[in-house]
């Protein structure tokens, strides 16, 4: 008859518990899979936001370059934002006629 080797069984049990503990920590602990997924989602959102901001910066840089290089952009801006006109031009403002609501007749006493 063979004698059971308790030392080997205890060692295998301890190694199995260590493996389970490490796997639990890997999947659910700090810096685990869930944290990585959350951080990746945050990185993706920030990358998307950066793309939009980069496009806005490019548009602003193009506008600055246009304002530095030509008078047409300055003139257009002065006309649209400041309401300026050239000498000799006539400015017309079109106002729509808004009809008042019909007055209701007062009841007779």
Q: Quick one: pLDDT at residue 51? A: 95
In a domain? residue 93: no
pLDDT for the residue numbered 2: 62
Q: Three-state SS for 67?
A: helix
- Say which DSSP state 95 is in: -
Residue 36 lies in a domain: yes
Per-residue pLDDT, 53: 96
Report how far apart, in Å, the C-alpha atoms of 3 and of each of 6, 67, 91 are: 9, 93, 110
Note down the domain range covering 62: 6-82
29 within a domain of the structure (yes/no): yes
In a domain, 89, yes or no: no
Look at residue 104 and tell me if it is in a domain: no
pTM here is 0.43
State the total domains in the chain: 1
**pLDDT for the residue 56:** 96
Q: What is the pLDDT of residue 45?
A: 96
Is the residue at 88 inside a domain?
Answer: no
**Residue ranges in the chain modelled with pLDDT below 50:** none
Inside any domain, residue 28: yes
């Amino acid at each position: 008859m063979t004698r059971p080797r308790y030392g080997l069984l205890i060692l295998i049990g301890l190694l199995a518990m260590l493996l389970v503990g490490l796997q639990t920590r890997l999947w659910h602990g700090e810096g685990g899979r869930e944290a990585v997924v959350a951080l990746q989602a945050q990185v993706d959102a920030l990358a998307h936001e950066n793309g939009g901001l980069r496009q806005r910066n490019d548009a602003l840089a193009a506008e600055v370059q246009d304002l530095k290089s030509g008078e047409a952009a300055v003139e257009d801006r002065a006309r649209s934002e400041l309401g300026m006109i050239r000498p000799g031009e006539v400015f017309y403002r079109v106002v729509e006629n808004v009809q008042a609501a019909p007055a209701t007749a007062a009841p007779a006493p």
